[in-house]
């Protein structure tokens, strides 16, 4: 929120109390607290009629600094609150010394130093280097012209510092110069609004910042003050964390350790998902024709998704199959399973008035109410719809019970749509603050569904297709990008959203191949296919038209087959990338800056990404096939045709619809699977290790998971003109090392040597 008129003046009616005089810094065993007056303190009398700003520093985890800024401390803290882990790390807290008049707190490789006299000042060091800081001019207790009170902070930005993240945002990937409101909204992908707002930003300057407030947070990133990132919340208190790097990946590891890491996703979820689309006409015959059409054309399919109209219109959500279009749902689901498919169905957290669950929920007190006790309702989306109150444990169990019946019927997973338009003029069962619940509602919604799936299907088998989220929502994968248009421009904005979400701690992300609104022309569809199949998760879905490839042209069928089979062959690699998201909190689709933080050329790139750490993907955003791809240092190899390009520099290329830049990083041992018909196979059986640019002295370990839960482990080294590959662990009967034109085969447990080029 903007509070100032230029640099020198406040906006009319705005008053800002700033910590201009540190009265005392109290050093404790695990933290320190500074008390600062808002005017100079020269005599005893100056303490009268004089507000204090209280600033406390502590550490919930190694390398993480907690900062709490308070005015009045007597308020009632109403929920909800983010679940932030407190590991109680070892910290060192010191007072001023003869050499340094500041107090300091050190946690891991982060040290915070604060002024003990004069005006308030904070410096944050990572590995001995100051990466950011705050001054008395930035900290503020603000009263606006309407009498509302806020707490504000401003952290310094350096000359070449870039800011990323703040959730899934479709604006420019680099957030410098933007004003961002963290407030969930159903705004599509073509606006500054976002479905997934996360009050966390990542920088390439050695740190990240997480504002621990689930409600409305305003960020002005180098916009209100161009040399600072400002953030503010309404109320008398604000807590935030500065999270140390030094690399962006280190920041994400620490951030996701605080707020939760993505669950493991099943291998089958990486395959191609096909949807009925939204408002199209479909019944079981339509579904069968789609599944048959994919099989007849040799297009591997893993999941079939039923969108909204699997239920009767005006009844969403009652979780009852429309008998006119699906008279035998149990039989239909069984027939789909017999064909090796998983089934997903659309749901949302709203209960339409015509649903039989409305009266039941109203009677039992499971629906959100207004202050007078009436059920909150409106007609947007569904006539007379109400909201399930997920702060009520009984309502959660009731909602889960309805979904459990679908799981028992044969449904495998759920698309958890909506959850953004949450009112603030309501009363929650547990007394939560409505403003804080607006963003947090989606967390409770997705958690309720994901918990049920985990209980019924087991850990590692639960998966969602979720649209809305906030901080911590990464624990419940997968998320998709929402309602995009069927254009190249929207394809690019979707990618920017995915890169921003990846910079916000989310491990898995998808989007509607071809776009959601409108019908793409064949060129858009084919280009989007290549992008979609090289995303962590891949879904064909639209609004008013089908997305089966043959609806566009025959070449679309061939492009679908090519890139679906390519993705399935990469499952030994992709499955390992997914495990890294689960164990370390690193996203499957990575912005260039995440892997190359010291390369200035990578800092602002938002038209390409790395799939895992080793495969660079540059989608083509034109019918003609022209694409600019930034290649970091070294010689990179095309996975598709073996051609090589060298960086660091931009390359302009032209690609047909069956191609795009897919470049393998030098020094990579890429495990490639033996099957291209499904994602959930034994990835180690017949695996080929493809070697790319291994330098003399190279040594690496590649792990390939097996269905048993054990791993085949391959240690690859290069010495001079020979490459040696040694297999240990649960190694299958045969494996190969592809090098040049040869693919030698060795028995399990053998050592293989091949020439190096």
Active site amino acids: 417, 420, 483
Asked whether the beta carbons of 90 and 62 are under 8 A apart, the reply is yes
202 bridge partner residues: 164, 208
DSSP 555: H
Residues 6+ apart with CB under 8 A from 104: 92, 93, 94, 111, 112, 113, 114
Asked whether the beta carbons of 509 and 479 are under 8 A apart, the reply is yes
Q: How many helices (H) and strands (E) does the chain have?
A: 11, 45
Residues 6+ apart with CB under 8 A from 218: 1, 179, 180, 181, 182, 230, 231, 232, 233
Distance from C-alpha of 103 to C-alpha of 95, rounded to nearest angstrom: 4
What is the spatial order of strands in the sheet that 91-94 belongs to? Answer: 91-94, 103-107, 110-114, 121-126, 129-135
Cis check for the bond before 80: say yes or no (omega within 30 of 0): yes
Residues 6+ apart with CB under 8 A from 517: 188, 483, 484, 485, 486, 543
DSSP 347: E
Nearest to 538 by CA among 275, 737, 289, 322: 275
- Extract the tokens encoding 178: 């933007």
Q: How far is CA 73 from the centre of its chain?
A: 34
Cα–Cα distances (Å) from 124 to 57, 244, 259, 399, in that order, read 11, 9, 22, 46
Region at 8 (left for phi over 0; alpha for psi -120 to 50; beta for the rest): alpha
């Amino acid at each position: 929120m903007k509070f100032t008129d230029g640099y020198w003046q406040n906006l009319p009616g705005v008053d800002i109390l700033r910590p201009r005089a540190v009265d005392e810094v109290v050093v404790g065993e695990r933290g320190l607290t500074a008390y600062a007056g808002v005017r100079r303190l020269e005599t005893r009398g100056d303490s009268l009629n004089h507000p204090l700003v209280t600033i406390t520093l502590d550490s919930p985890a190694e390398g993480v600094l907690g900062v709490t800024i308070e005015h009045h401390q007597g308020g009632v803290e109403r929920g909800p609150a983010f679940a932030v882990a407190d590991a109680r790390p070892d910290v060192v807290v010191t007072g001023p010394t003869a050499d340094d008049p500041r107090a300091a707190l050190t946690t891991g490789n982060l040290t915070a130093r604060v002024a003990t006299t004069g005006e308030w000042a904070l410096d944050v060091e990572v590995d001995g280097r100051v990466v950011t800081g705050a001054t008395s001019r930035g900290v503020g207790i603000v009263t606006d012209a309407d009498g509302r009170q806020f707490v504000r902070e401003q952290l310094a930005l350096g000359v070449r510092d870039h800011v990323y993240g703040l959730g899934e945002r479709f604006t420019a990937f680099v957030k410098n110069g933007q004003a961002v409101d963290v407030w969930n909204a159903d705004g599509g992908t073509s606006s500054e609004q976002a479905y997934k707002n996360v009050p966390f930003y990542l920088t390439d300057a050695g740190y990240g910042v997480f504002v621990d407030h689930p409600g409305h947070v305003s960020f002005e990133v180098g916009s209100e003050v161009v040399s600072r990132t400002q953030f503010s919340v309404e109320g008398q208190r604000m807590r935030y964390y500065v999270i140390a790097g030094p690399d962006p990946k280190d920041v994400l590891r620490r951030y996701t350790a605080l707020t939760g890491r993505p669950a493991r996703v099943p291998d089958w979820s990486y395959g191609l998902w096909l949807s009925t689309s939204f408002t199209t006409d479909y019944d079981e015959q339509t579904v069968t024709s789609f599944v048959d059409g994919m099989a007849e054309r040799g297009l591997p399919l893993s999941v079939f998704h039923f969108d909204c109209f699997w239920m009767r219109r005006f009844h969403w959500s009652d979780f009852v199959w429309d008998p006119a279009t699906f008279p035998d749902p149990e039989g239909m689901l069984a027939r789909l399973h017999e064909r090796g498919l998983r089934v997903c169905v659309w749901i949302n957290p709203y209960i339409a008035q015509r649903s039989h669950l409305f009266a039941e929920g109203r009677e039992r007190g499971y629906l959100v109410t207004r202050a007078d006790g009436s059920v909150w309702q409106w007609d947007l989306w569904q006539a007379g719809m109400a909201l399930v109150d997920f702060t009520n444990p009984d309502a959660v169990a009731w909602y889960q019970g309805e979904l459990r019946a679908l799981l028992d019927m044969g449904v495998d997973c759920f698309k958890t749509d909506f959850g953004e338009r949450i009112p603030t003029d309501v009363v929650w069962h547990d007394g939560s603050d409505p403003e804080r619940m607006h963003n947090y509602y989606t967390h409770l919604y997705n958690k309720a569904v994901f918990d049920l799936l985990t209980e019924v299907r087991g850990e590692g088998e639960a998966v969602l297709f979720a649209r809305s989220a906030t901080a911590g929502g990464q624990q419940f994968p997968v998320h998709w990008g929402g309602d995009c248009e069927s254009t190249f421009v929207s394809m690019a904005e979707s990618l920017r959203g995915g890169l921003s979400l990846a910079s916000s701690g989310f491990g898995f992300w998808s989007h509607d191949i071809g776009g959601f609104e409108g019908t793409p022309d064949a060129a858009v569809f084919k280009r989007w296919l290549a992008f979609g199949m090289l995303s962590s998760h891949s879904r064909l879905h639209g609004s008013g038209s089908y997305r089966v490839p043959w609806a566009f042209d025959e070449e679309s069928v061939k492009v679908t087959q090519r890139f679906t089979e390519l993705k399935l062959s990469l499952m030994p690699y992709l499955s390992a990338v997914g495990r890294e998201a689960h164990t370390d909190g690193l996203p499957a689709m990575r912005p260039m800056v995440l892997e190359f933080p010291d390369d200035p050329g990578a800092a602002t790139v938002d038209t390409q990404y790395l799939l895992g750490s080793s495969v660079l993907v540059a989608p083509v955003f034109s019918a003609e096939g022209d694409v600019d791809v930034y290649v970091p240092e070294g010689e990179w190899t095309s996975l598709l045709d073996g051609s090589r390009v060298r960086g660091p520099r931009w390359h302009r290329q032209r690609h047909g619809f069956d191609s795009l830049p897919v470049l393998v990083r030098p020094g990579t041992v890429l495990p490639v699977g033996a099957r291209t018909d499904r994602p959930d196979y034994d990835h180690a059986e017949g695996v080929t290790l493809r070697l790319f640019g291994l330098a003399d002295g190279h040594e690496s370990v590649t792990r390939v998971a097996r269905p048993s839960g054990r791993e085949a482990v391959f240690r690859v080294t290069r010495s001079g003109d020979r490459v040696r590959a040694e297999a240990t662990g649960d190694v299958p009967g045969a494996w190969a090392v592809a090098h040049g034109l040869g693919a030698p085969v060795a028995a399990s447990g053998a050592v293989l040597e091949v020439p190096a080029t």
